[in-house]
Amino acid sequence: MKMPLLSNVLAETRSGFWGSEPGEGEVDVRVVRNGDLQEDGIRWGALPLRSVSTSEFELASLVVGDILITTSGDCGYTAQVESEPQVPTIASNFIRILRFDSSEVVPRFAFHFVHSETFRQCLVPYIRGTALKNLSLSTAVQRIRMPLPPMPQQRRIAEFLDAADALRARRRAALAQLDTLSHSIFLDMFGDPISNPRTWPTVRLEEICERVTVGIVVQPAYNRRDTKRQTRVEFAFHSHLVKAAALLRGHPIRPWPRHLRMSLSSPRPCSPCPVCQFLVSAPRNI
């Protein structure tokens, strides 16, 4: 199977534009922003209206098959234009448009590749910035390789992954229905607590509560003076538990703690340690 660089199978990549207020440019368009790229596709109904020049529209307009990837802020998130936009639509300046060579790559196969977590991890070395992260996509596509099986196999893989995505989408919809079920049952039994259509009697909370208070503020362990002593005690206790578990499984453990060796050889265990008492009385193979 071939493993070409992304730059060798990309027909072109284009940047988007944010434009100006509606009516100020030559063409009013809808703009796809970072947050409009959702797990299940592009959020077409929430796109803002902006205005751009004719040349900007020609450069950043979206067509079927385009793959969008975020390059600033939350970098590496992707979506694909699966149908022709109903109104003129472009990508914003924080999004790049990827168009693959259709003679070598099935667009849907390419989308599943760039939409994978593996590809997103490959992008990490090319993301810079702290407050606002930026992806150097031009550098990334020249260094990241893409598995490229023959075209018929690409189509079969894409169809299989599309079917899996459809199953996941139906599962999410079913879970959303279940989330509303308990609320619907409550409303059916008691009615809306705000409008109170069943005229249930109402009382003030203070009339039925004996006490209303906040929780106790616990001082963090690192502020306590006896932190080291407490840590030593906890470590010793956990060590006993580990050794007890190994002992009961018949595994020899050495070296034993000094007081534990004394307890195993002496007729009676050290009284302060119940774990030692248990070890002395338990069957052992050491």
In a domain, 128, yes or no: yes
Q: If we measure between CA atoms, which residue out of 129, 42, 131, 122 comes closest to residue 89?
A: 42
In a domain, 209, yes or no: no
Across-strand partners of 38? 41
Residues 6+ apart with CB under 8 A from 241: 275
pTM of this structure: 0.63
The answer to whether 148 and 3 have CB atoms below 8 angstroms apart is yes
With vertex at residue 101, the alpha carbon angle to CA 97 and CA 102, rounded to the nearest 5 degrees, is 110
The answer to whether 237 and 260 have CB atoms below 8 angstroms apart is no
Two tokens, residue 232? 């030593």
CA dihedral 81, 60, 104, 111 (to 10 degrees): -30
In a domain, 16, yes or no: yes
φ, ψ at 171 (rounded to 5°): -65, -45
Looking at residue 284, what is its pLDDT?
46
Domains in the chain: how many in total?
Answer: 2
Q: What is the CATH number of the domain that holds 71?
A: 3.90.220.20
Residue 129 shares a structural domain with residue 238: no
Looking at residue 201, what is its pLDDT?
87
Single residue among 98, 131, 153 that ends a domain in this structure: 153
Element (H or E) spanning 107, and its range? helix 107-114
φ, ψ at 159 (rounded to 5°): -65, -40
Measured CA to CA, the distance from residue 228 to residue 222 in angstroms comes to: 9
Domain hosting 244: range is 230-281
Q: If we measure between CA atoms, which residue out of 142, 73, 81, 89 comes closest to residue 111?
A: 81
Looking at residue 221, what is its pLDDT?
56
In a domain, 263, yes or no: yes
Single residue among 118, 133, 153 that ends a domain in this structure: 153
In a domain, 149, yes or no: yes
Looking at residue 163, what is its pLDDT?
92
With vertex at residue 278, the alpha carbon angle to CA 274 and CA 279, rounded to the nearest 5 degrees, is 120
In a domain, 201, yes or no: no
In a domain, 28, yes or no: yes
pLDDT in tens, 179-218: 788 888 888 888 888 888 888 888 888 888 888 777 776 6
Looking at residue 134, what is its pLDDT?
95
Measured CA to CA, the distance from residue 1 to residue 5 in angstroms comes to: 13
Which residue ranges of the chain lie beneath pLDDT 70? 217-286
Residues 6+ apart with CB under 8 A from 150: none
In a domain, 250, yes or no: yes
Looking at residue 112, what is its pLDDT?
94
Residue 108 shares a structural domain with residue 245: no
Residue 142 shares a structural domain with residue 234: no
For 161-189, give the DSSP string. HHHHHHHHHHHHHHHHHHHHHHHHHHHHH
Residue 22 shares a structural domain with residue 142: yes
